[in-house]
């Protein structure tokens, strides 16, 4: 596990896992980590960021993931300098950027709409940040050719943006944001406007670029699959705060809250009471009276010694039981329910079960009839104990 | 069924199209016909106009007064249009917008008379200069008064038209340029201004063509030296009953306006229509 779990899941520390990151830290200079500390921001007296903390190690591919309105784009715009925070600081490699204008920060940014200059050719669009920096013509041409090559745009240098497809425009925006070799690349939902197939291609290209160039990428999306496909560090945002940050594997296997579990995997949740915690695990009582013991590693940080908690478990971690085998053992959670819906996922089915007090979804190799009674089970080391829904873990 | 649907817009537009074509082509046709037949068949009217020093002077006056008025509009109106686009919600800009629309709706005669009173010897401007010990300058019946009147008439047209065009420019592009390292002024010059150019040229050439046909403003606020072509046309008809000369002048003014417009747009609007 590359990530280090933190007590409240708000600050993420992550060992650089990527080749580019390893190269950058091996060079010996001080790491240019991006640190966002206690950033607050209000628009029209409504606070949209309530003290955001973020630590992105140099060379990471970090993604801020969250539903719309969670504040992820505002954080990105504050890092870029397009918004000024009401409180808090943004530092890069120890240097305070908070009061600097966007142009003084030297960061690359890809806008959601790409923001290509319609009156300039692809070549002049890519050359724009170099002209701003008064780079000599020969060096400028060499640099434009290099970065156009990196994103396979050489044949289109003479075209205007409106003559390009969405994917090509996106690559122009990328080349323009990278050509002046910024210390950080910010991407605001750059794949949002593209169709699914193209998105997969561009995701691979983005990862390749990140490996080759080795600088920190910070990306914003509401798409969990995209975040997991791209990132070494995922920051889950909710209601203007960081809910949890960590490697994708960590978020998937060790969600700190019900919100995270639901957002990254689509979790089942049943309420339970934590009776006591010990070295051998947490003793829980379900509302139907059943008692379970969950391994200690599966109790989220922040859960108290006792009290009301939530047991979460993913549909794909469970199996259905053949009739006559309804009591497979003590180290499993079993649920029985009436089949409400069946969805074919390709190779397997997802059954929606209604078990009276509890509803749950489970994956199954075989279809089931609507209205049939099905028994399903989950190994307890795949279940996770988190706080109550509004407790925030 | 399909054919009916296809014909419907044409049929609906037919009366309006007939009126528009009739009101443009017929008068222009009559104008040309009259200019080469009255008083006798031939180009004598055109010959007279081209060789007449009075017409030459009026043509030059028309051109430079119109050019000066356009320059005034561009210098005063462009920042206003930009301010309206960038800060249209501000109370001050709401008032500016209302003033623009109101003055746009006021007749040119009323506005020319307003300036006549403002700049006259009994007017407030002279009163102020007199109080400051600067004497009583003659502010009326000169090029200055005509240009002031023209700019006042044309400014709302230019500003409102430019406002409509600037509003369609995505300001995010300027933000992006600043994010790429550009200073604000550099971003405006290299991104906003080129994108605003079609609007500037369209607005500028529209008010220029309107200015070429001015009659009331120079007649009221100008002196003999500020006689414009439209005044000569009126004079030819009202004082001399010379419809042939009036028709020929009108036709030349029309041709000259179109030629100037085409030339200006050709020089100032390269490839602009291509931006998506």
Which pLDDT score, from 0 to 100, does residue A199 have?
Answer: 86
Residue of A nearest to B180 (CA): A129
Sheet holding A307-313, edge to edge: A291-294, A281-286, A268-278, A307-313, A384-386
Task: Tell me if A152 is assigned to some domain.
Answer: no
Q: Per DSSP, what are the bridge partners of residue A218?
A: A62, A186
Q: What are phi and psi of B230, to 5 degrees?
A: -60, -35
Q: Is A134 among the domain residues?
A: no
B89 touching A (Cβ < 8 Å):
no
Q: Rounded to 5 degrees, what angle do the CA atoms A24, A27, A31 make?
A: 55
Q: Tell me which residues of chain A have a C-beta less than 8 Å from any C-beta of chain B.
A: 80-82, 101-103, 106-109, 111, 113, 115, 117-119, 128-129, 132-133, 160-163, 176-177, 180
- CA of B196 vs chain A CAs: smallest distance (Å): 11
Q: Is residue A366 a part of any domain in this protein?
A: yes
- pLDDT tens digits along A132-186: 999 999 999 999 999 999 999 999 999 999 999 988 999 999 999 999 999 999 9
User: What confidence score (pLDDT) does residue B2 get?
Assistant: 52
Query: Which of B172, B186, B195 lies nearest to residue A132, judging by beta carbons?
Result: B186
CA-wise closest residue to A310 among A299, A319, A318: A299
The answer to whether A109 contacts B181, with C-beta atoms less than 8 Å apart, is no
- Looking at the fold, whether A193 and A274 belong to one and the same domain comes out as no
Tell whether the torsion through CA atoms of B136, B141, B144 and B148 is positive or negative: positive
Packing angle, helices B53-87 and B193-212, rounded to 10: 140
Two tokens, residue A271: 């309420």
What is the full per-residue pLDDT of chain A (393 aa) written as tens digits? 344 444 444 444 444 344 344 444 444 445 789 999 999 999 988 999 999 999 999 999 999 999 988 999 999 999 999 999 999 999 999 899 999 999 999 999 999 999 999 999 999 999 999 999 999 999 999 999 999 999 999 999 999 999 999 889 999 999 999 999 999 999 998 887 788 888 888 899 999 999 999 999 999 999 888 999 999 999 999 999 999 999 999 999 889 998 998 888 788 888 889 988 888 888 888 888 888 888 888 888 878 878 889 999 999 888 888 776 766 677 888 888 899 999 999 889 999 999 877 789 999 988 888 999 998 989 888 889 998 776 443
CB contact under 8 A, A109 and B176: yes
3-class secondary structure, B109: helix
Residue A292 CB: number of other CB atoms within 10 A? 20
pLDDT tens per residue, range B162-193: 999 999 999 999 999 999 999 999 999 999 99
Whether the CB-CB separation of B271 and B65 falls below 8 Å is answered with: no
Only one residue has tokens 């080469």, namely B36
Residues A202 and A300 in one domain: no
Query: How big is the A-B interface in CB pairs under 8 Å?
Result: 65
Q: Which helix (H) or strand (E) holds A222?
A: none
Structure tokens, B206: 């529209």
Contacts of A183 (CB under 8 A, 6+ apart): A32, A92, A93, A106, A107, A215, A216
**Residue B194 and residue A119: Cβ atoms within 8 Å?**
yes
First to last CA, chain A: 21
Indicate whether A73 and A99 sit together in one domain. Answer: yes
CATH code: domain of residue A10: 3.40.50.300
- Rounded to whole angstroms, how far apart are CA atoms A112 and A170? 9
Q: List pLDDT tens digits, range B186-223.
A: 999 999 999 999 899 999 999 999 999 999 889 889 88
Q: What is the pLDDT of residue B248?
A: 92
- Shared domain for A310 and A324, answered yes or no, is yes
Same domain, A33 and A79: yes
Q: Is A80–B179 a contact, with Cβ atoms under 8 angstroms apart?
A: yes
- DSSP string over B116-155: HHHHSTTSHHHHHHHHTT------SSSHHHHHHHHHHHHH
| Mean pLDDT taken over chain B | 89
A74: Cα within 13 Å, side-chain hemisphere: 26
**How many whole angstroms separate alpha carbon B114 and alpha carbon B96?**
19
Q: Residue B106 CB: number of other CB atoms within 10 A?
A: 13
| Confidence category of residue B93, pLDDT binned at 50, 70, 90 | very high
> In angstroms, what separates the C-alpha of A81 from chain B's closest C-alpha?
8
CB A14 within 8 A of CB A1: no
> Which residues neighbour B197 within 8 Å (Cβ) at sequence distance 6 or greater?
B268, B269, B272
Select from A253, A271, A287 the last residue of a domain. Answer: A253
Specify the pLDDT at position B270. Answer: 63
Cβ neighbours of A202 (radius 10 Å): 21
Among candidates B179, B183, B195 on the partner chain, residue whose Cβ is nearest the Cβ of A109: B179
HEC string of A68-109 equals CCCCHHHHHHHHHCCCCCCEEEEEECCEECCCCCHHHHCCEE
Residues of B in contact with A127 (CB under 8 A): none
Residue B212's H or E segment, with its range, is: helix B193-212
Closest-CA distance, B216 to chain A, in angstroms, reads 41
Question: What single DSSP character describes residue A194?
Answer: S
A215 shares a domain with A102:
yes
Number of domains in chain A: 2
Residues A370 and A335 in one domain: yes
Q: Which of these, A320, A308, A302, A291, lies nearest to A380 by C-alpha position? A: A291
Q: Residue ranges of the alpha helices (H) in chain A? A: 19-26, 72-80, 102-105, 122-132, 137-150, 166-178, 196-213, 224-230, 248-253, 258-265
Specify the pLDDT at position B266.
83
Number of Cβ within 10 Å of residue A82's Cβ equals: 18
CB within 8 Å of B212: residues ≥ 6 apart? B62, B63, B66, B229, B253, B256, B257
Instruction: Tell me how far apart the alpha carbons of residues A254 and A52 are, in angstroms, rounded to a whole number.
Output: 21
Distance from A357 to chain B by nearest Cα, in Å? 51
3-state secondary structure of A185: strand
Last residue of a domain, which of A229, A253, A277? A253
Tell me if A52 is assigned to some domain.
yes
Which of B89, B171, B176, B186 to mutate to test binding with chain A, by most A CBs within 10 Å of its CB? B176
Indicate the pairing of strand A268-278 with strand A216-221. unpaired
Say yes or no to pLDDT of B120 above 60.
yes
The predicted-structure confidence for B131-163, as pLDDT tens digits, reads as follows 888 888 888 899 999 999 999 999 999 999 999
Contacts of A170 in chain B (CB under 8 A): none
Across the interface, of B170, B178, B190, the residue whose CB is closest to A102 is B178
Asked if the bond preceding B39 is cis, omega within 30° of 0, the reply is: yes
Is residue A210 located within the same domain as residue A290?
A: no
Residues A57 and A187 in one domain: yes
For residue B133, the model assigns a pLDDT of 86
Of the candidates A212, A227, A253, which is a domain's last residue? A253
Is residue A240 a part of any domain in this protein?
yes
**What's the pLDDT score for residue A298?**
87
Nearest-by-Cβ selection for A176 from B180, B183, B191: B180
* Same domain flag for A247 and A265: no
The label of the residue with tokens 């070549």 reads: A123
Residue A95 lies in a domain: yes
Query: What does the radius of gyration of chain B's CA atoms come to, in whole angstroms?
Result: 23
Please report whether residue A139 resides in a domain.
Answer: no
Q: What angle do CA A63, A64, A65 make, to 5 degrees?
A: 105
CATH number of the CATH domain containing A316: 2.40.50.140
Whether residue A115 and residue B172 make contact (CB cut-off 8 A), yes or no, is yes
Query: In terms of CA atoms, which chain B residue is nearest residue A127?
Result: B180
The pLDDT of residue B274 is 45
CA pair distance A191, B140, nearest whole angstrom: 64
pLDDT range class, residue B5, cuts 50, 70, 90 = low
A69: nearest Cα among A53, A54, A46, A48: A48
Determine which of A114, A132, A184 to mutate to test the interface with B (most B C-beta atoms within 10 Å): A132
Q: Does A229 lie in the same domain as A280?
A: no
Mutate to test the interface with B, among A78, A128, A168 (most CBs of B within 10 A): A128
Query: How high is the ipTM of this complex?
Result: 0.78
Domains, chain B, with CATH or none = 1-37 (no CATH), 53-274 (1.10.3720.10)
Which is more confidently placed, B193 or B6? B193
Q: Domain of residue A71: give its range.
A: 3-107+182-253
**For residue A390, what pLDDT is reported?**
62
Gap from A77 CA to chain B (nearest CA, Å): 10
Same domain for A226 and A361: no
- The pair of structure tokens assigned to B188 is 């405006």
B170 touches chain A (CB under 8 A): yes
Q: Which of B172, B190, B194 sits opposite A113 (nearest CB)?
A: B172
Q: For chain A, how big is the Rg over CA atoms in Å?
A: 24
For the segment B95-103, the average pLDDT, to the nearest whole number, is 92
Closest residue on chain A to B178 (Cα):
A103
Structural contact between residues B220 and B112, judged by C-beta atoms closer than 8 angstroms: yes
Q: Does B275 touch chain A (CB under 8 A)?
A: yes
CA distance A296 to A254: 12
Return the pLDDT at A8: 42
* Percent of chain B residues past pLDDT 70, beyond the cut: 96
Q: Residue A328 domain-assigned?
A: yes
Q: How far is CA A44 from CA A47, A242, A264, A294, in A?
A: 8, 22, 32, 46
Q: Which of A80, A162, A176 sits opposite B276 (nearest CB)?
A: A162
């Amino acid at each position: 596990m590359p990530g280090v779990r933190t007590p409240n899941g708000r600050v993420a520390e992550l060992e650089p896992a990527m080749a580019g990151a390893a190269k950058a830290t091996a060079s010996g200079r001080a790491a240019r980590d991006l640190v966002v500390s206690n950033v607050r921001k209000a628009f029209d007296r409504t606070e949209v960021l309530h003290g955001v903390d973020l630590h992105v190690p140099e060379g990471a591919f970090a993604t801020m993931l969250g539903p719309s309105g969670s504040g992820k784009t505002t954080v990105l715009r504050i890092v870029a300098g397009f918004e000024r925070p009401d409180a808090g600081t943004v530092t890069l490699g120890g240097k305070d950027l908070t009061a600097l204008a966007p142009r003084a920060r030297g960061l690359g940014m890809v806008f959601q709409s790409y923001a290509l200059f319609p009156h300039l050719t692809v070549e002049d669009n890519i050359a724009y940040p170099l002209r701003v920096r008064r780079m000599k013509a020969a060096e400028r041409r060499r640099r434009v050719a290099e970065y156009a090559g990196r994103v396979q745009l050489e044949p289109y240098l003479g075209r205007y943006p409106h003559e390009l497809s969405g994917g090509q425009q996106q690559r122009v925006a990328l080349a323009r944001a990278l050509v002046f070799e910024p210390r950080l690349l910010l991407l605001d939902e750059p794949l949002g406007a593209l169709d699914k197939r193209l998105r997969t291609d561009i995701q691979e290209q983005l990862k390749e670029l990140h490996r080759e160039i080795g600088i920190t990428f910070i990306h914003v999306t509401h798409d969990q699959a995209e975040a997991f496909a791209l990132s070494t560090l995922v920051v889950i945002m909710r209601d203007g705060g960081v809910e949890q940050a960590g490697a994708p594997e960590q978020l998937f296997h060790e969600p700190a809250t019900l919100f995270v579990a639901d957002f990254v995997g689509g979790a089942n949740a049943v309420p339970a009471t934590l009776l006591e915690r010990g070295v051998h695990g947490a003793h829980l009582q379900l509302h139907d009276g059943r008692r379970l013991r969950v391994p200690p590693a599966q109790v989220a940080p922040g859960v108290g010694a006792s009290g009301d908690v939530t047991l979460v478990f993913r549909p794909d971690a469970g199996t259905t039981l053949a009739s006559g085998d309804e009591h497979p053992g003590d180290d499993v959670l079993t649920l029985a329910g009436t089949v409400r819906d069946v969805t074919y996922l390709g190779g397997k089915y997802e059954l929606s079960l209604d078990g009276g007090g509890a509803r749950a979804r489970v994956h199954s190799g075989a279809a089931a009839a609507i209205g049939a009674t099905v028994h399903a089970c989950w190994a307890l080391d795949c279940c996770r104990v988190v706080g109550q829904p509004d407790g925030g873990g | 069924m399909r054919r009916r649907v296809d014909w419907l817009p044409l049929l609906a537009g037919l009366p309006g199209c007939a009126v528009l074509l009739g009101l443009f082509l017929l008068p222009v046709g009559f104008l040309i016909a009259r200019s080469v037949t009255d008083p006798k068949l031939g180009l004598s009217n055109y010959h007279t106009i081209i060789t007449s020093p009075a017409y030459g002077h009026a043509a030059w006056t028309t051109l430079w007064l119109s050019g000066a008025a356009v320059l005034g509009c561009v210098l005063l109106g462009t920042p206003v249009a930009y301010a309206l686009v960038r800060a249209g919600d501000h109370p001050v800009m709401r008032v500016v917008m209302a003033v623009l629309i109101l003055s746009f709706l006021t007749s040119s005669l009323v506005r020319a008379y307003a300036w006549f009173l403002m700049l006259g010897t009994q007017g407030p401007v002279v009163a102020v200069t007199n109080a400051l010990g600067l004497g009583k300058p003659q502010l009326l019946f000169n090029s200055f008064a005509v240009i002031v009147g023209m700019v006042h008439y044309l400014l709302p047209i230019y500003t409102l038209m430019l406002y409509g065009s600037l509003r369609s420019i995505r300001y995010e592009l300027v933000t992006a340029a600043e994010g790429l390292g550009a200073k604000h002024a550099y971003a405006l010059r290299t991104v906003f201004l080129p994108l605003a150019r079609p609007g500037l040229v369209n607005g500028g050439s529209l008010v220029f063509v309107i200015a070429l046909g001015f009659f009331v403003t120079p007649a009221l606020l100008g002196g003999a030296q500020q006689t414009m072509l439209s005044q000569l046309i009126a004079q030819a008809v009202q004082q001399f009953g010379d419809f042939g000369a009036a028709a020929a002048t009108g036709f030349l003014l029309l041709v000259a306006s179109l030629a100037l417009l085409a030339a200006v747009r050709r020089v100032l609007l390269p490839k602009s229509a291509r931006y998506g």
